[in-house]
Structure 1
């Protein structure tokens, strides 16, 4: 009852936020091609739309109406679903990695095999949803939330999420690597190297050569920069090594 009241107040507040009218061209593009990454689909009317397998990565779907839409297998990675309605939508096997679910209506939706890592289901309406994970209190979930926070440059929050992952599983190598990258962004080079060394050792023990290579590469680049007396900026080679922070999601699979 208390949660429902809070969510109702939240949605009432969100609905009062002015947002520009629907972009008809982007809506038509989505319906005709099912490919609309980074499209402006805010307030789009997509009730019962067949969007199976649609590419909606990083799309703006704020306050869109996707009630009863077929989104099976759709890619909604990083999509903004603030205030959107997916009531009774089919999201079987859909990817919502890092999607913003603030005030999203997921009631009666079908979420079997959906990828919900890096999302905040506690901010959405989920009553009656089918296929919700038994628990989101997993190292993978906290790690994914850390990646999302880091990508938004909320480094303090990112470290807190990585720490939660390590509290649940102290040999969870990706969390050490993620925390190393965040500490590097905060110019804590000593802390970054320490975490990267732990990550490298764990990745090696767990027979993950890609993770080990990234961790070792980070250590080498930091030491190289220290030896050359470089400034506070990240070197080109180090930036190439890190790439987008979001690329860290690959260590979940």
Structure 2
């Protein structure tokens, strides 16, 4: 009986070993040559790896840790990146057409000139990513990312997202208001007032009464004269500022 159990354990190990060895071999191959098409790299630890220009077409990188890796110019066409961590990775100029990116973590990653092709970005985590291509999302997506970034205290990052939302939809009143709040946080009262006025006009044209009321309340706040000895200052985070304009403003501008 003991011999049977031992034989069973050894057989199990022998069956599992080739797959593990193959994964390790593929990881070594990738790091040595940057050529690993259709490789099995699932769960691989590749933190801060230099993989610039690597050929990873069709590779299985599900669950791999590529945090802060250099993947600039890498070809990840058709790769499996489900659940992979690409936090803070440099993907400038990378190709991701046809890649599976459900649950992939692109937070704080550099995505300048990334080609997502037909990859579905809505199933990945892109909040905080830098340089997200316009084609990678809708105006509402960039607005949502902007609001979330603003709530994190990154006003300039929020403005960048709102700018992209407005590039897609120049009549997106909520994005003008969001950008106005971010500018207010950066002590740019004139820029904030200009955005609030545009938002007011758009809300009025669109028949959005709560939006008009909120924009006008913000304009009133911005046009109130400051005491001669006072220095301009912002008033807290996004939600605090919107709270000054009433509870309707908070509900209206929450990311959707």
For normalisation by structure 2, the TM-score amounts to: 0.46
For normalisation by structure 1, the TM-score amounts to: 0.47
